[in-house]
């Protein structure tokens, strides 16, 4: 029987597609947004419902403070590739960890892994090797050279050129 101190895993959609929660007895969590992604395709709706009914999968929405921490980490790393579902997943991991849980995020998404590392969260990949280094992106205009750190537009507000990103600093993950 799971207790509030046992380790938990927070699942991204790739974990469901790889079949991880269906072959594991570990308590799993995911966000409502990830559940929405998974329930739409690949015939997983019935299997996911069975996991929820058995108590092996909990769907939890994080608090606003956890979302804010994820957004701060994404802004600091200039990682602009997080979707709303990605953000909800990371916020859930932050929320559970703040509650004293030992959390591992399971995702093959490099942006999720990168931000998880910035947040001090453990992460694991399933179908890929995963990131080797944590990255801080540099977001810039290749036309005029303007740098962006927050509220990155698709096109430069100075010259209209499409915004690009490149590796800035990094550290081992």
Sequence ranges of the domains in the chain:
8-124, 133-172
Residue-level pLDDT, tens digit, the chain, 173 residues: 455 667 889 999 988 888 888 877 788 999 999 999 887 766 777 888 889 998 999 999 999 999 999 999 988 877 777 899 999 999 999 999 999 999 999 999 888 998 999 899 999 988 666 556 665 677 788 889 888 766 677 788 889 888 887 766 555 45
Token pair for residue 36?
Answer: 């929405």
HEC profile of the chain: CCCCCCCEEEECHHHHHCCHHHHCCCCEEECHHHHHHHHHCCCCHHHHHHHHHHCCEEECCCCHHHHHHHHHHHHHHCCCCCCHHHHHHHHHHHHHHHCCCCEEEECCCHHHHHHHHHCCCEEECCCCCCCCEEEEEEEEECCCCCEECCCCCCECCCCCCEEEEEEEEEEEC
d(CA 21, CA 30): 11
d(CA 129, CA 1): 32
pTM given for the model: 0.75
Give the contacts of 61 (CB within 8 A, at least 6 positions apart). Answer: 31, 32, 88, 92
With contact defined as beta carbons under 8 Å apart, do 66 and 91 qualify?
yes
Token pair for residue 30?
Answer: 């995911």
For 8-124, CATH gives 3.40.50.1010
pLDDT of residue 135: 59
């Amino acid at each position: 029987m799971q207790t509030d101190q046992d380790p938990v895993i927070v699942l991204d959609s790739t974990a469901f597609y790889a079949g991880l929660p269906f072959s594991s007895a570990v308590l799993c969590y995911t966000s409502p947004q990830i559940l929405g992604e998974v329930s739409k395709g690949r015939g997983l709706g019935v299997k996911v419902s069975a996991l929820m009914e058995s108590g092996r999968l909990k769907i939890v929405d994080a608090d606003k403070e956890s979302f804010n921490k994820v957004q701060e980490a994404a802004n600091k790393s200039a990682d602009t590739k997080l979707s709303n579902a990605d953000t909800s997943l990371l916020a859930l991991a932050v929320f559970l960890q703040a509650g004293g849980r030992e959390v591992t995020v399971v995702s093959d998404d490099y942006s999720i892994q990168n931000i998880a590392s910035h947040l001090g969260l453990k992460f694991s990949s399933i179908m890929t090797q995963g990131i080797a280094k944590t990255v801080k992106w540099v977001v810039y205009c290749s036309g005029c050279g303007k740098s962006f750190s927050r509220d990155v537009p698709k096109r430069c507000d100075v010259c209209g050129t499409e915004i690009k990103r490149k590796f800035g600093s990094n550290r081992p993950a």
